[in-house]
């Protein structure tokens, strides 16, 4: 259920339009080995929605047709889709860069122990969720034992070359705040992460992406239940920076859900706010010019322009 939709539909967020399509972000399904409190997808072990092979083939046709340079795979845990390796392999054969948005813990789960090697063999960029570098905070958000499992996964990735100097294998981490505040300045937080993880666990990574929590699905429902929704929205509105508008991810990214329907961004997907305001399947936009089309916006969009700005690639504002 989209519990937060009535709170987000009416908006005075500025009108914006799409630029040239460069990235297709694909949600391979809501199945996940974790149930994180900050999850805007409401993913978990009991979800059954998974993209089928026919839709995956359609995605491959689409990215090739549109000369898309990056395929950004998300979920749930994208690795839990039975066609994950097929999609990655075919995309790399087409010369398309692939990003795996990995929760790290999945790399330690039974039947998934070979995924790290597969990602390295295919030069897949990993963007891994590690909402804090302290055990108590991570386990509070993601479940008991997830911090230690994440550390083991990071150490495995480092041994494969991920996050190492002069290595082509990119390993980036993602920070999410725990409460109703914006993330701190990204560069300073990245330095703190790097120093702590190196000193205590001998772990290296490339960059830290600091993401604001969007008030939708599990996180949005929590805000509503605690009477904090309006306060959080006011924080986002008060922190809006117009200079971030030109760099928000919806300008050059198309989001595809597990059934093949398209959206301006992953957040709109979770709110069932389709591309152009009309539910549209990927199969019908193969030859449609997306550049210049109006982007569907709502109150939640302030979460992407507040403060340093927030996107799937971290802060938008230069430091």
Residue with tokens 């198309």: 254
pLDDT grade, residue 45 (50/70/90)? confident
Predicted confidence (pLDDT) per residue in 202-211, tens digit: 999 999 999 8
Name the least confident of 64-68, 151-155, 222-226. 222-226
Q: Which residue has the higher pLDDT, 67 or 132?
A: 67
- Tens digits of residue pLDDT in 165-192: 999 999 999 988 877 888 889 999 999 9
User: What is the pLDDT at residue 1?
Assistant: 38
Residue 228 has pLDDT above 60, yes or no: yes
Q: Which CATH architecture has domain 5-305?
A: Alpha-Beta Barrel (3.20)
Query: Tokens 């927030």 — which residue?
Result: 310
Instruction: Mean pLDDT check: name the lowest of 19-28, 58-67, 173-182.
Output: 173-182
User: Model-level pTM greater than 0.75?
Assistant: yes
Of the pLDDT bands very low, low, confident and very high (cuts 50, 70, 90), residue 257 is very high
Domain ranges (residues) in the chain: 5-305
Closest CA to 137 of 54, 215, 196: 196
Dihedrals phi, psi of 92, to nearest 5 degrees: -65, -35
DSSP code per residue over 139-178: HHHH-TTHHHHHHHHHHHHHHTTTT-TT-S--EEEEE--S
Quick: pLDDT tens for 269-300: 988 999 988 899 999 886 566 889 999 998 88
Mean per-residue pLDDT for 95-110?
95
């Amino acid at each position: 259920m989209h519990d937060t939709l009535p709170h987000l539909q009416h908006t005075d967020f500025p009108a914006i339009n799409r630029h040239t399509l460069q990235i297709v972000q694909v949600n391979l399904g809501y199945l996940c080995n974790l149930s994180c409190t900050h999850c805007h997808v409401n993913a978990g072990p009991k979800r059954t929605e998974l993209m089928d092979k026919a839709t995956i083939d359609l995605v491959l046709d689409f990215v090739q047709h549109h000369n898309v340079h990056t395929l950004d795979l998300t979920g749930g845990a994208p690795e839990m889709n039975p066609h994950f390796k097929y999609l990655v392999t075919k995309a790399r054969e087409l010369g398309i860069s692939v990003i795996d948005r990995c929760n790290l813990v999945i790399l330690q789960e039974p039947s998934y122990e070979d995924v790290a090697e597969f990602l390295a063999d295919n030069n897949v960029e990993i963007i891994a969720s590690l909402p804090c570098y302290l055990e108590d905070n991570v386990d509070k958000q993601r479940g008991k034992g997830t911090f230690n499992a994440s550390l083991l996964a990071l150490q495995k990735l480092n041994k494969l070359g991920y996050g190492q100097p002069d290595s082509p294998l990119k390993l980036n981490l993602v920070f999410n705040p725990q409460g109703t505040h914006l993330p701190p300045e990204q560069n300073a937080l990245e330095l703190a992460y790097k120093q702590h993880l190196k000193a205590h666990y001998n772990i290296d990574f490339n960059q830290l992406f600091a993401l604001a929590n969007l008030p939708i699905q599990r996180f949005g429902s929590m805000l509503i239940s605690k009477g904090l929704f309006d306060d959080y929205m006011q924080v986002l509105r008060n922190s809006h920076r117009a200079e971030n508008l030109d760099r928000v991810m919806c300008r050059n990214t198309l989001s595809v859900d597990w059934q093949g329907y398209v959206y301006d961004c992953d957040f709109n997907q979770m709110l069932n706010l389709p591309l152009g305001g009309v539910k549209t399947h990927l199969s019908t936009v193969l030859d449609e010019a997306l550049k210049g089309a109006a982007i569907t916006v709502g109150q939640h969009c302030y979460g992407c322009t507040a403060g340093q700005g927030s996107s799937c690639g971290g802060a938008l504002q230069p430091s």
